[in-house]
Amino acid sequence: MLPLNTHPNINISFLNNNKPLLVCDADEVIFDFMTSFESYLNDQNLFFSWKSYALEGNILDKNKKEIHKDFIKEIINNFFKANAGTMNLMNGAKKSLKKLSSTFNIIVLSNIPFDFYDDRSKALKKNNLNFPFYANKGPKGKVMKKIALEFKNDIWFIDDSPFQIKSVQLAEKRIKTILFVGNSKLEKLIKHRKYWDFFSNKWKKNEEILLNMEQV
């Protein structure tokens, strides 16, 4: 078995093998991460510069000086401590996921720090998104490869991170990917199409891609 860094340990034995699988990121895919994060930064007299598709290098102090990368982990942890259970959903996420759940097995796979797993799990349940949820550290390709070895029906992966999409595509070619960027400021930072099979900026489009492709 491949060594993984997830909480809890990945288990897909319960999945319905007669349905395809959708593995869905949480922050900025299900939950409106950037709106909450930018508001949190402003409350701390910090700012997000929107100059690149990353957290590192974009967090500025009140003098518009970049926060050193060594402090970013602390900022992220403090943000999740305050907001992991209370973030709003991305527009259309709940309605589309509910509809898709009749056709797909759905798993939520998020790189939220493990300390906030329970808060995120409660937030999903509070919104009646009662899907299996796993927290992950690092590239998701390793996890998705393990899933693909065990699950033989079609597999789809949705994430807002080009880095994670690349990780999955390089790890397992048969997994179909959707780069979903629902924030217009982030969308402007996508420079070139690489690796992903489909691009979307609305949950309705995700829904259409998935249902249309599974009917082919």
Encode pLDDT of 110-169 as tens digits.
999 999 999 999 999 999 999 999 999 999 999 999 999 999 999 999 999 999 999 999
In the chain, the domains with their CATH numbers are 6-10+17-32+90-215 (3.40.50.1000), 34-83 (no CATH)
Distance of alpha carbon 169 from alpha carbon 94, whole angstroms: 26
- Cβ of 81: how many Cβ atoms within 10 Å? 13
Q: pTM of the predicted model, to two decimals?
A: 0.95
Ranges in the chain, pLDDT < 50: 1-2
Across the strands, what pairs with 199? 179
Going by C-beta distance under 8 Å and a sequence separation of 6 or more, which residues neighbour residue 91?
182, 202, 203
Instruction: Annotate 39-75 with b (16+ C-beta within 10 A) or e (fewer).
Output: ebbeeeeebbeeeebebeebbbeeeeeebeeeebeeb
pLDDT at 216: 52
